[in-house]
Chains A and B, each alone.
Chain A
């Protein structure tokens, strides 16, 4: 067990030391995707904006929540969810799409996961531009508590990175897992308060739909501060415990199977 932990840990540290390589590869992905369009990655921002306006009008009216309250909530929720679900979906193919590199050059394999994370953080940074615009439109202030989103985002990344790593390993062995993950994420999109506000839920559903849903807590620790409220103690605890448990399982697991990945591809 200790041997596996060490070998996993070593690879992860080596990848973090070579962070610039993951950076170069991640940027290349973005450059390559948007090279031939004039607006570049801002196309995603625009389509995200359109989606937010459309969903905002429909569901805001449907639920009868005031736009001033609903639209900022929906904006952050959708942007964060898009980020989370794209990271996890792309993590499934993180190793398989890097097959040619993995089979030619010896690199810490976690680099390929960092590449996925970094690429999506860059896209997230493009999308988040919409949020200040929404605040501006409704003339809402940004409270000082908003700064709490920084530790929140760090905690979210810590969790996403172990999930991505473990998914990447599993999916390079079992190729149909990527579809299953995609389906599950779709279900979670509806189960998690993204297009509906948690206040709308009858109290007795709270435990079932909110407290046990990891994605609710992970979104909440970033979203709540930006909306001017403090995330609950449970949100933080859940995030921290999940990161601790997740990493302590992932590292030895990764250490055990890391050397097999090149053979599975």
Chain B
């Protein structure tokens, strides 16, 4: 039973300047007895999300809208489990894949095949399972013989195609996206849109941050608006 429950979630980002980052300075401050005051100085806190209550269950297609810096990305990352709430709690049931950055962990020196295994491992797949899927991935990406060459020799488009093919090989329970992905040239784009739609349809919960009302209209059945980290409407 896939489920997300956010209960009064707040996220504060500490902003450290170089003083706050230095152990030496901290010790010096403590030694000279000015710890409290200086602590304030080197320790600015930015509230990125405040008091978020949100419940999502199977079938929910949530669109997250709001201005730049409203906290959309932070919300996606809290749902992905990257940031733990500073206060409040979040419970997530189900396997999450986020397509916020589909390149993450890929390495230019390694060959296409090696990158498939590496990226696959980061997505949480077992080696044996990836072995079975390698041909599908390579074929879908349309990389051809380049697959045995280092990734750095690929064109940007090819890298994207490969990254996309790996990231979308298996629909997760919860899919998290920052804007709708578009990759590659016209031919590939059509194939990619088809694949993306397929995994969106197959995943039980979708959370997508976007600026496009048309997209919300098309794929979402719920919308929330964030303003300065707070929920405006559900």
Residues on A facing B (Cβ under 8 Å): 20-21, 24-25, 28, 31-32, 35-36, 100-107, 170, 173-177, 180, 259, 262-264
Q: Which of B21, B109, B118, B122 contacts A105 (CB 8 A)?
A: B122
Q: Are B110 and A104 touching (Cβ within 8 A)?
A: no
Q: Name the residue of chain A whose CB is nearest to the CB of B85.
A: A259
Stretch at the interface among B58-66, B95-103, B133-141, B153-161: B95-103
Q: How far is the CB of A170 from chain B (nearest CB, A)?
A: 8
Q: Does residue B7 face the partner (Cβ distance < 8 Å to A)?
A: no
List, in ascending order, chain A residues with CB within 8 A of B121's CB.
20-21, 24-25
List, in ascending order, chain B residues with CB within 8 A of A259's CB.
84
Roughly how many angstroms separate A148 CA and B16 CA in the complex, as a whole number?
A: 48
List, in ascending order, chain A residues with CB within 8 A of B126's CB.
20
Q: Are A104 and B100 touching (Cβ within 8 A)?
A: yes
The binding surface of chain B is classed by DSSP as mixed
Given A103-B82, A106-B96, 15 new contacts (CB under 8 A): A21-B121, A21-B122, A24-B117, A35-B150, A102-B82, A104-B101, A104-B104, A105-B80, A105-B122, A106-B81, A175-B22, A262-B82, A262-B83, A262-B84, A263-B13
The count of residues in chain B whose C-beta lies closer than 8 Å to any C-beta of chain A is 31
Q: Are A20 and B98 touching (Cβ within 8 A)?
A: no
Roughly how many angstroms separate A107 CA and B16 CA in the complex, as a whole number?
A: 25
Q: How far is the CB of B43 from chain A (nearest CB, A)?
A: 12
Q: Are A28 and B114 touching (Cβ within 8 A)?
A: yes
Roughly how many angstroms separate A25 CA and B110 CA in the complex, as a whole number?
A: 12
Could you name 6 residue pairs across A and B whose Cβ atoms are closer than 8 Å? Answer: A25-B121, A32-B107, A104-B104, A173-B21, A174-B26, A176-B21
Q: How far is the CB of A207 from chain B (nearest CB, A)?
A: 29
The binding surface of chain A is classed by DSSP as helix
Q: Are A105 and B26 touching (Cβ within 8 A)?
A: no
List, in ascending order, chain B residues with CB within 8 A of A36's CB.
109
Q: Are B98 and A105 touching (Cβ within 8 A)?
A: yes
Q: Are B118 and A28 touching (Cβ within 8 A)?
A: yes
Q: Name the residue of chain B whose CB is nearest to the CB of A106.
A: B81
Q: How far is the CB of B231 from chain A (nearest CB, A)?
A: 22
Interface positions, chain B 117-145, Cβ under 8 Å from A, are 117-118, 121-122, 126-127
Q: Are B23 and A177 touching (Cβ within 8 A)?
A: yes
Q: How far is the CB of B166 from chain A (nearest CB, A)?
A: 13
List, in ascending order, chain A residues with CB within 8 A of B84's CB.
259, 262
Q: A106-B80, A106-B96 are in contact. Are A24 and B118 (CB under 8 A)?
A: yes
Q: Name the residue of chain A whose CB is nearest to the CB of B115.
A: A28
Interface positions, chain B 176-219, Cβ under 8 Å from A, are none
Q: Which of A25, A31, A35, A105 contacts B104 (CB 8 A)?
A: A105
Q: Name the residue of chain A whose CB is nearest to the CB of B25.
A: A176
Top 5 A-B residue pairs of the complex, sorted by shortest distance between their CB atoms: A106-B81, A259-B84, A174-B23, A24-B121, A32-B109
Roughly how many angstroms separate A173 CA and B13 CA in the complex, as a whole number?
A: 13
Roughly how many angstroms separate A56 CA and B109 CA in the complex, as a whole number?
A: 37
List, in ascending order, chain A residues with CB within 8 A of B81's CB.
106
Q: A104-B104, A105-B122 are in contact. Are A20 and B127 (CB under 8 A)?
A: yes
